[in-house]
Chain A
Amino acid sequence: MPTAIEIFKHLPKKNCGDCKYPTCLAFAMQLANNKAKLDDCPHLSEAGRNALARSSAPPIRLVKVGAGGDAVEMGDETELYRHDKRFFHPTAFALRISDDLSDRDADARVEHARSLRYERVGQTLKMDLLELECRSGSPEKFLRFVTRVAAACDWPLVLRCSDPAAMSAAAEAVKERRPLLHPADGEDLEAMAGVAKACGCPLVLADAELGKLADLVERTRKAGVEDLVLDPRPDNLKELLERCTIIRRSAIRKTFRGLGYPIYVSVPAGKDGMLMASTAVMKYGSLLAFEELPASNALPLMVLRQNIYTDPQVPIQVKPDLYPINNPGPDSPLLFTTNFSLTYFTVMSDLEKSKVPVWLQVVDTEGLSVLTAYSAGKLTAESVKAALDASGAKESARTGTLVIPGMVARMSVKLKEATGLEIIVGPKESSALPKFLRS
């Protein structure tokens, strides 16, 4: 948001009070603090409205690909360093499939993309889009391919094709899906922008020189397309890191509109590709299109994305409560753990593996792991007792014992005093729980 004075310059200066503020200046001050809406002033000129809308736009435009529930949102980031607040829109992952493949091979790639899906700490990690590439050079073939894959898979799409005529036919066929079109570079810019405009699709502009990229942005916006994504075409890690950093910084630090858009990166196969992808996840990449993504690389990459995009102020947590696992009864053992998602899900999966019916009391430690919570004074005899009382655990589990994490054996005596339960010190690692519970 611009300052109150900058806003004031564009207001009608009638001081009529129709906005419910006594003066235009008072209204400007409310606007600057996000406490009023531009529309509250009925006398604003068209020129004034446009100027204000532009200057109050976010430094990086929010661009949506796809339609409906699983549409991918990217951009609208406000930070260079995640610790200053957080990163908002996790890097989207697309697997590339080209139209020179047989139907069978293409289907297998769609299946592969779907199979890269993991449940982790209560969230689903997965691929987000398919990128459909024209390699055949034949508009008919590309159109048939896009229509076929689009019918088989309802994910958001990227269409990658450098021939405007072929792109036009394919984009027209799937335009309700709001695919992202790639690429528009120097030569065919106007033609591609025309396709994007006609189909109402977002468009990727590509150039290795950032100055030229900013020129492309200006030309495309003049042609009436605003939903843009930038492909700075890095060939190696250094170019990737530096170009992405310059784009992000000039948008955030200098409010430079020419580069205020999400970033697209094409990821080659092999080790280099995996390093580029990981770097882009940490350093401002919005959408990665993978030539290949082997299963052994997918999980580390998706966990990295999950880590980098969590809110630094709020660890991922589960609800503190008493959880029945494997259908426990009154004679089943009672155990406790913390409400840090990683801790809870690790312990829970080990308990499920054991097949032994148990009660698991999750203690509110504000999302901290066992040792961290203990060191921070958030996992105490009192907090465990409070959790057991709140959930009525002692009514459900009647053995009169409590199994505690081996790492906090030190708590035993105090816990016994506080809860009146016999304390059994469990293993340090929950992976040893199945064996422990069976004996």
Chain B
Amino acid sequence: MEVPVPKERWTGSIGEMELGGSEEKGGSRSPLRLGGNRGLPFLSFEDPERRTVALAGFVADSLEDVPGPVRKAFGEAVNDPVSWAKDWTARGADLICLHLTSTNPEEGDASPESAADTVMAVLKAVRAPLIVYGSGHEEKDAKVMERVGERARGERLLLGHAEEGGYKSVAAAAMANGHSVIGFSNLDINLAKQIVILLTDFGVGRKDVVLDPLMAALGMGLEYSYSVNERIRTSALAGDSVLQVPIICDCTSAWKARESTDDVPHAGDTLERGIWWEGTTALAALLSGADILVLGHPGSMDIARKAVDGLRGDA
């Protein structure tokens, strides 16, 4: 019997973008191409072209917020962002996601210059493109991003993150030096649109924006994120041009969900469970529309890689 091919009639597609600057463009790495999707994730009957999903390894320049199991997995390397980043690329990360938490005025208060030194050292040590975050302290981040942006000119970093309340400094740091920006919004499709509009009105190109709709972890609101991502992606495919940008999902929040590693009767080895907690969060992100995943544990990265290969039909 003939089965009707139930293709959704999408009219839109996700914009293409590049991360990482090639030598031609003043950088030193081979760029990663993202986006271009014309259908829902991994449905080859809807969108036959094969797409990139990039997996980023989490690195921080201070250990304040780093979950224990993640530290352990990398051993000594976590004390030095350069070795940590190298370790990630050896384990197959496509990207490095570097958090400059040492700049937080309430903790290390490292200077913008020394933060920029760290970024340059990592750029020198690995060929993978870089995502760079500050410490989440608004005023300090403005200075840090400005300096990082200047020093890494041409490398086409992805700078995190711009929020409705304070997006101008990050956006300016990106625009002045050819980097791209993460627009963050809080689990809401309208807020997601809002931040893209604010950024583009400010002058950031649509091809320079990646959306972070906040990936809530398994058991910590995953159901909201799954549906918000899905709504953002279906609206984009249905023609809402504002939302036609790649999506980034940070899955490291999984380690903050206590059930991931607490002792629970009959719930098995805590490390193994924690890894799956992050891995399952990653899979939910992938199926709901993520183009970039940020992962903390190498075991979860292996799971995410297996998922991507399997869903693309490579495994």
Q: Is B220 located at the chain interface by the 8 A CB criterion?
A: yes
Q: Is A215 located at the chain interface by the 8 A CB criterion?
A: yes
What's the minimum C-beta distance from A378 to chain B, rounded to whole angstroms? 15
Distance of A259 Cα from B3 Cα, bound (Å): 8
Contacts of B307 in A (CB 8 A): 237, 275, 279
Contacts of A246 in B (CB 8 A): 3, 5-6, 45
Task: Please give 20 more A-B residue pairs, beta carbons under 8 A apart, in addition to A214-B1, A296-B276.
Answer: A82-B226, A83-B230, A118-B264, A238-B312, A238-B313, A245-B43, A272-B306, A272-B315, A274-B276, A275-B283, A275-B303, A275-B307, A278-B280, A278-B284, A282-B226, A283-B287, A296-B269, A301-B280, A304-B222, A307-B219
Q: Which of A115, A238, A253, A310 contacts B266 (CB 8 A)?
A: A115
Distance of A26 Cα from B269 Cα, bound (Å): 64
The chain A residue with its CB closest to the CB of B284 is A282
Q: Is A300 located at the chain interface by the 8 A CB criterion?
A: yes
The chain A residue with its CB closest to the CB of B314 is A238
Contact B273 A237 (CB under 8 A): no
Contact A295 B268 (CB under 8 A): yes
Given the contacts A238-B44, A272-B306, A299-B268, A312 and B280 also touching, CB distance less than 8 Å: no
Task: Classify chain B's interface size.
Answer: 35 or more
Q: List 22 A-B contacts (CB under 8 A).
A: A81-B234, A116-B266, A210-B3, A211-B2, A215-B1, A241-B42, A241-B43, A241-B311, A242-B42, A245-B43, A256-B3, A256-B4, A258-B1, A275-B307, A294-B272, A296-B268, A299-B259, A299-B267, A299-B268, A300-B279, A303-B259, A307-B218
The chain B residue with its CB closest to the CB of A282 is B287
The chain B residue with its CB closest to the CB of A253 is B6
Distance of A211 Cα from B2 Cα, bound (Å): 6
Report B's interface with A, CB cutoff 8 A. Answer: 1-6, 8, 42-45, 218-220, 222-224, 226-227, 230-231, 234, 258-260, 264, 266-269, 272-273, 276-277, 279-280, 283-284, 287, 303, 306-307, 310-313, 315
Q: Is A308 located at the chain interface by the 8 A CB criterion?
A: yes
Contacts of B312 in A (CB 8 A): 238
Q: Is A64 located at the chain interface by the 8 A CB criterion?
A: no
Task: Classify chain A's interface size.
Answer: 35 or more
Distance of A20 Cα from B182 Cα, bound (Å): 62
A251-297 interface with B by 8 A CB criterion: 253-254, 256, 258-259, 271-272, 274-275, 278-279, 282-283, 294-297
Q: Which of B219, B230, B269, B313 contacts A236 (CB 8 A)?
A: B313
Contact A211 B1 (CB under 8 A): yes
What's the minimum C-beta distance from B254 to chain A, rounded to whole angstroms? 9
Contacts of A342 in B (CB 8 A): 219-220
Contact A295 B267 (CB under 8 A): yes
Contact A236 B310 (CB under 8 A): yes
Contacts of B311 in A (CB 8 A): 237-238, 241, 279
A117-161 interface with B by 8 A CB criterion: 117-118, 120
Contacts of A236 in B (CB 8 A): 310, 313, 315
Distance of A343 Cα from B313 Cα, bound (Å): 40
Q: Which of B226, B268, B272 contacts A307 (CB 8 A)?
A: B226
The chain B residue with its CB closest to the CB of A238 is B313
Contact B310 A238 (CB under 8 A): yes
Distance of A259 Cα from B1 Cα, bound (Å): 11
Distance of A249 Cα from B8 Cα, bound (Å): 9
Contact B226 A308 (CB under 8 A): yes
Contacts of B231 in A (CB 8 A): 81, 83
Contacts of A312 in B (CB 8 A): 223-224, 227
The chain B residue with its CB closest to the CB of A239 is B313
Contact B223 A279 (CB under 8 A): no
Contacts of A211 in B (CB 8 A): 1-3
Distance of A82 Cα from B4 Cα, bound (Å): 23
Interface flags for A91-129 (1: CB within 8 Å of B; 0: not) read 000000000000000000000000111101000000000
Contact A304 B258 (CB under 8 A): no
The chain A residue with its CB closest to the CB of B216 is A307
Contact B287 A279 (CB under 8 A): yes
Contacts of B226 in A (CB 8 A): 82, 282, 307-308
Contact A296 B306 (CB under 8 A): no
Distance of A121 Cα from B268 Cα, bound (Å): 20
Contacts of A15 in B (CB 8 A): none
Contacts of B8 in A (CB 8 A): 249
Q: Is A354 located at the chain interface by the 8 A CB criterion?
A: no
Q: Is A162 located at the chain interface by the 8 A CB criterion?
A: no
Contact A242 B227 (CB under 8 A): no
The chain B residue with its CB closest to the CB of A258 is B1
Contacts of B230 in A (CB 8 A): 81-83
Given the contacts A242-B43, A312-B223, A278 and B283 also touching, CB distance less than 8 Å: yes
Contact B223 A250 (CB under 8 A): no
Contact A272 B310 (CB under 8 A): yes
The chain A residue with its CB closest to the CB of B273 is A296
Q: Which of A214, A250, A299 contacts B273 (CB 8 A)?
A: A299
Contact A300 B280 (CB under 8 A): yes
A322-367 interface with B by 8 A CB criterion: 342, 346
Q: Is A190 located at the chain interface by the 8 A CB criterion?
A: no
Distance of A389 Cα from B83 Cα, bound (Å): 58
